[in-house]
């Protein structure tokens, strides 16, 4: 503690935070040790943000993409089945903002809102925090993908197809269209 010029209180609080994130463990008569990487809580917002900064960019983007491919097609189908008019309005507003975007930044903000709105429209309160959790890293990925495309709004048609399927409550169509959209995203990631 003297070496770092911090008080015991600050050190305890730092260790408590690192422990809550699964990074370290403290045991009597053993001390504090760094836990194996597979024990870390990578779904913690801070850890996910840190991991995104230090992991090889392509490897991290592919891991995030895999997670999206597991979750978002199901979330789109769920949204098609259960959305309220207000929830669909949020999806539709985001899709219209994407169509009206004049630059990459506007596109990315609307794109992120679109995906978070789809997660929320399913009515499963456990999906919403997951979307909020990944929004910072997803935002970086969306920026990168928009810049890799010939034009930043190259995937507008795929987003509109997802929105249309949700609007008409076509669960299979929503799942299929979201999977197709994510396949376009994966192809852009793999181009790098």
The CATH number of whichever domain residue 139 belongs to comes to 1.20.120.530
162 vs 134, which has greater pLDDT? 162
- 27 and 115 fall within a common domain: no
| Long-range residue pairs from 98-106, CB within 8 A, at least 24 positions apart, any chain | 98/153, 98/156, 98/159, 99/153, 99/156, 99/160, 101/152, 101/153, 103/152, 104/143, 104/146, 104/147, 104/152
The whole-angstrom separation of Cα 15 and Cα 22 is 10
At residue 156, the pLDDT reads: 94
- 24 and 109 fall within a common domain: no
- 32 and 113 fall within a common domain: no
Q: Give the SS3 label for residue 122.
A: coil
Domain that holds residue 33: 8-39
The whole-angstrom separation of Cα 120 and Cα 117 is 5
Alpha helices (H) along the chain: 8-20, 45-54, 57-82, 85-100, 104-121, 127-148, 156-167, 171-191
pTM, two decimals, is: 0.81
The pLDDT tens digits of the residues spanning 60-80 come to 888 888 989 999 999 999 999
Q: What is the CA radius of gyration of the chain?
A: 20
**CB contact at 8 A, 98 and 153:** yes
Given a cut of 80, is residue 174 above it in pLDDT?
A: yes
The pLDDT tens digits of the residues spanning 80-137 come to 999 999 999 999 999 999 999 998 889 989 999 999 999 999 999 988 888 877 776 7
- 84 and 24 fall within a common domain: no
Tell me, yes or no, whether 3 lies in a domain: no
- 52 and 74 fall within a common domain: yes
At residue 149, the pLDDT reads: 65
Residue matched to tokens 């903002």: 97
- Under the banding of pLDDT at 50, 70 and 90, the label for residue 170 is very high
- 35 and 101 fall within a common domain: no
At residue 40, the pLDDT reads: 84
- 67 and 115 fall within a common domain: yes
The whole-angstrom separation of Cα 175 and Cα 93 is 20
**Strands 24-27 vs 31-34: parallel, antiparallel or unpaired:** antiparallel
Residue matched to tokens 């309220």: 84
At residue 1, the pLDDT reads: 60
Tell me, yes or no, whether 2 lies in a domain: no
The pLDDT tens digits of the residues spanning 27-71 come to 888 888 989 888 888 778 788 778 777 877 788 888 888 989 999
């Amino acid at each position: 503690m003297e070496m770092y010029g911090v008080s015991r209180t600050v050190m305890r609080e730092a260790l408590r935070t690192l422990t809550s994130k699964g990074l370290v463990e403290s045991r009597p008569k053993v001390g504090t040790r760094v836990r194996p990487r597979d024990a870390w809580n990578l779904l913690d917002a801070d850890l996910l943000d840190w991991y995104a900064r230090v992991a090889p960019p392509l490897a991290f983007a592919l891991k995030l993409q895999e997670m999206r491919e597991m979750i978002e097609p199901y979330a789109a189908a769920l949204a098609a089945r259960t959305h309220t008019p207000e929830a669909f309005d949020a999806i539709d507003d985001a899709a219209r903002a994407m169509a009206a975007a004049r630059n990459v930044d506007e596109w990315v903000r609307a794109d992120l809102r679109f995906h978070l709105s789809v997660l929320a429209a399913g009515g499963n309160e456990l999906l919403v925090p997951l979307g909020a959790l990944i929004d910072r890293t997803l935002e970086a990925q969306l920026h990168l993908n928009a810049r890799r495309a010939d034009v930043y709004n190259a995937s507008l048609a795929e987003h509109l197809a997802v929105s249309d399927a949700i609007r008409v409550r076509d669960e299979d169509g929503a799942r299929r269209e979201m999977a197709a959209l994510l396949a376009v995203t994966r192809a852009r990631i793999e181009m790098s």
